[in-house]
Amino acid sequence: MTNARDYALLLLDQKALPNWPARRLPRKIATGIAEPADPRDRALAEQIDTGVTKNLLQLQYLIEQIAGRPLAKIHPVIQKILAIGIYQLRFLDRIRPAAAVNEGVEQAKRLGLAHTRGFVNAVLRKAAASAKEAIEEFDTYEEDARILHSHPPELYSRLEALLNEERAIEICRHNNSQPPTIARLAPGRTIDDLESAGIAALSHHQEGMVVLISADKATISRMANLQLAQVQDPTSALVVNNADIKPGMSVLDRCCGMGTKTIQAWELAGPSASIVAIDPAPSRCEALRRTVLERNIGNIRVIQSDSFPRRNPDVPQQYDRVIVDVPCSNSGVLARRPEARYHQSNKHLEDLIKLQKAILADTIPAVAPGGLLIYSTCSIWSEENQQIVQWILNEFERLDVIRDHTTLPHSSEDPADYHDGGYYAILKRTK
């Protein structure tokens, strides 16, 4: 099956979400759902997957209200079919209501749940009749956050404690917005260079950043391979921009991921630098190796490892700049990583902090005397940011904080104002 809505259902079924255990589709059915060949169908499937995830708690509330029964009384796969249908009815104006209803009914049949077609039809038809009606206002900010903006109580409580009620709700709205595609221009490149390559863009308010207009994946890949610009949020770009990287320096990117910051560091350090990028995931390392090969970069070494290779004589043991962009809660980038909003519990945060400390303890010895440690997260929680930096100062000698900076998420009607949330700290090892 290559139906866009079936593929969206498959993507949703792979996630563990509130009230929705992962992988409830029978294996025979799941393996029979293929990624659509038509890019328009792929785009629709991805839009539905993201939209349902972002609005999950609201959609689940509506399912209960319209069906007149609790979620526990509705088969999990049928819940997901209903959520896909109601999402289209409420949020996608270009989808005809009749098409959304009929597709939901037929989807239940295709998935071997034909006996539920009458129920699915009744719920979606009722939803279509009131699709654009606003949900009633609630008595508390927490209920507004949970139902209107699909932010669980533990997440809203953290936001309220960090900020205040009104600012917390503003962040919730931000997290449900559609982020623009923003790119960082390569050194020496301008927006005119993009336009000469047929890539439409607007200037962002942060220097060196642009907002791409209707750029598909192929355009973004071409732009990067031409070394014109690479997709990156302005907040993320600040990390390396403030690392004071100079030509010829040695640089370690300890948690390199797909290599966005690795490439950014290379652009500053140049072809005479020694750059090592480490990540535990084979797929991410392979992606970065392909990038290095495609751009003919000869001085970036990619190592797949859970730890720093301290006993490898071929790997430099100390570096002028050590970038540690640790795995984190993603609390500053929930507009781009919507499923992370459902994993902001204290227990999950505690596990992340243990991992962050383990990575730092393994990496800090690689900072050369006089060198800089650049610690960063895409989190806005102090436990992952300022408190980790204080732990570093308590546990390791000869490190001083030069600067640190927290950015809160922000969006407006002008995409040139948009940026995610995050944190970075620059620490210097004294000689």
Confidence at residue 290, expressed as pLDDT on a 0 to 100 scale: 95
Specify the range with the lowest mean pLDDT, choosing from 65-79, 122-136, 280-294, 298-312: 122-136
Residue 140 has pLDDT above 80, yes or no: yes
% of the chain with per-residue pLDDT over 90: 89
Report how far apart, in Å, the C-alpha atoms of 30 and of each of 9, 18, 279 are.
9, 21, 30
Given strand 209-212, what is the order of strands in its sheet?
Answer: 201-203, 209-212, 181-185, 229-231
Q: What is the CATH number of domain 233-429?
A: 3.40.50.150
Structure confidence at residue 152 as a pLDDT band (50, 70, 90): very high
Sort 59 into a burial class: Cβ within 10 Å, 0-12 / 13-18 / 19+: buried
Q: Say if residue 137's pLDDT is above 80.
A: no
- pTM > 0.85: yes
Predicted confidence (pLDDT) at residue 260 exceeds the cutoff of 80: yes
**Is the pLDDT score of 12 beyond 70?**
yes
**Percent residues over pLDDT 70 in the chain:** 100
Q: What is the model's pLDDT at position 2?
A: 75
**pLDDT of amino acid 1:** 61
Contact 291, 325 (CB under 8 A): no
Q: Find the mean pLDDT for residues 141-148.
A: 93
| Amino acid in the structure at residue 57 | L
Instruction: Tell me how far the alpha carbon of residue 282 is from its chain's centroid.
Output: 19
Inform me whether the pLDDT recorded for 198 exceeds 80.
yes
In sequence order, which residues have a C-beta less than 8 Å from that of residue 57 and are 6 or more positions away? Answer: 18, 146, 147, 150, 151, 152
| pLDDT tens digits for range 42-60 | 999 999 999 999 999 999 9
Q: Name the β-bridge partners of 372.
A: 321, 428
CA within 13 Å, CB half, 356 = 25
- pLDDT band for 411, please (50, 70, 90 cuts): confident
Residue 115 binned pLDDT confidence (cut-offs 50, 70, 90): very high
Dist CA 47 CA 146 (whole Å): 21
For the packed helices 76-91 and 117-129, what is the interaxial angle rounded to 10 degrees?
30
- Report how far residue 251's alpha carbon sits from residue 374's, in angstroms, rounded to the nearest whole number: 11
CA distances (Å), 92 to each of 14, 48, 95, 100, 282, in order?
23, 9, 6, 10, 37
The CATH T-level fold of domain 4-129 is N-utilizing Substance Protein B Homolog; Chain A (1.10.940)
1: CB partners within 8 A, 6+ apart: 32, 33, 34, 110
Could you give the angle at which helices 234-241 and 260-269 cross, rounded to 10 degrees?
A: 40
**pLDDT over threshold 80, residue 311:** yes
Task: Measure the CA–CA gap between 127 and 87, rounded to whole angstroms.
Answer: 10
Per-residue pLDDT, averaged over 300-308, amounts to 96
Strand order of the β-sheet with 250-253 is 300-304, 274-279, 250-253, 319-325, 367-377, 422-429, 399-407
**379-402 pLDDT tens trace:** 999 999 999 999 999 999 999 999
Structure tokens at 28: 């025979």
Closest CA to 428 of 242, 237, 279, 234: 242
Is-contact 165 151, C-beta < 8 A?
no
- Domain limits of the chain? 4-129, 141-175, 177-231, 233-429
Chain segment 27-40, per-residue pLDDT in tens? 888 999 999 999 89
Of the candidates 277, 384, 407, the residue with the CA atom closest to the CA atom of residue 392: 384
In this predicted model, what pLDDT tens digit does every residue of 338-371 receive, in sequence order?
A: 999 999 999 999 999 999 999 999 999 999 999 9
